[in-house]
Amino acid sequence: MQPLVSIIIPCKSIASFELESVEGCLNLNWENLEILILPDSINTSVSWPSKVKIIETGHILPAEKRNMGIKNSNGKYIAFLDSDAYPEKNWLTNAIPLFSDPTIGVVGGPSFLPPGDDLCRTAGTIILSSKIGAGGLRSRYSSGKPTEVDDIPSSNMIVPKEIISEIGGFNANYWPGEDTYFCLQINKDLNKKILYSPNVIIYHHPRQVFKPHLKQMWGYGTHRGNFARRFPHNSRHVTYFIPSIFVLFNLIFGIASIVAPDIFLLPYLSILGIYFLICFVTSISTKNMTLFFLVILGIPMTHVTYGIAFMKGFFSNMKNN
């Protein structure tokens, strides 16, 4: 018999993306489930199936919404899903059997671009799923290999409820980054593995390039930089530092090329030329002129935004939240 799975979807309000998310959950090849939607307030008169519960939360942080959902859930497993995402039909069928290995504490997988998304959202996914755009983190947005990782985004995360109970849920003092700290506790304190599985798939509407995408990158960079200083166990990897190195490289060599062009200008332009050549190849592969410009501009803007934010987070005494 299938164990009961509680799908928790925190959101601000219930609109088209949230309805799409619920529909995707109801179409899963997994019958024994409940869906908990946690909006700030109930703003719709939709008649919901019996599997769906609406829990009005007031204006609180996503971590607090997830904790409220956990408290009101009945499942053996808790599946966390962002409100602008929906699961592939075999999402749970592929994920739950992985917990037959008792050493595994968290399972997650890639977030693919939903069919029909607009070009500005498509550009965001292309940037983050490319080697030049996200490096080793690109597997979060594209197919990869089954891998033990340090953390899994809460947009696509499945965890046994008993494990959540052991760590007391999400720490609402952190946002964004509550999922990083959540995984840190499970991995370090409980000595459980965190598994990325390429067939545990969701379709996730990304932020639009440019402003919403860059705002998100700023938030990610700031929290990761702060966590790199405070929690090195799962945040002090070279990959996270590379955008900041890129920013400092341009600052130092840019100034040096002005002060001593005979020495520094040619090497600087050569390295920068290789970088933009890779950006060009990534962008031209889209075979769409609008996407080409969105991606070729979006890649360096993403790196600079994240790099500056990372340094800000690393060197700041940030208050939680």
User: What are the per-10-residue average pLDDT scores of the chain (321 residues)?
Assistant: 97 95 98 98 85 96 97 98 98 98 97 96 95 85 84 96 97 88 96 96 97 96 94 91 98 97 97 97 96 98 98 81 47
Q: Which residue has tokens 């593995």?
A: 193
Threshold 0.95, pTM exceeds:
no
Can you give the pLDDT at residue 23? 97
Can you give the pLDDT at residue 216? 96
Q: 276: which residues sit within 8 A by CB, 6+ positions away?
A: 296, 300
Q: Is 204 helix (H, G, I), strand (E, B) or coil?
A: strand
Answer for the pair 81, 8: CB distance below 8 angstroms, yes or no.
Answer: yes
Give φ, ψ of 54 to 5 degrees: -105, 125
Q: 233: which residues sit within 8 A by CB, 6+ positions away?
A: 150, 184, 187, 188
User: How many helices and strands in the chain, by DSSP H and E?
Assistant: 12, 11
List where CATH 3.90.550.10 sits in the chain.
5-109+152-206
* Cα angle 141, 220, 276; round to 5: 65
- Whole-number Å distance between alpha carbons of 68 and 195: 25
Answer for the pair 210, 119: CB distance below 8 angstroms, yes or no.
Answer: no
Can you give the pLDDT at residue 212? 97
Q: Please state which of the four CATH numbers 3.40.50.300, 3.90.550.10, 3.40.50.720, 3.40.30.10 is assigned to the domain occupying 5-109+152-206.
A: 3.90.550.10
Answer for the pair 176, 223: CB distance below 8 angstroms, yes or no.
Answer: yes
- Whole-number Å distance between alpha carbons of 316 and 150: 24
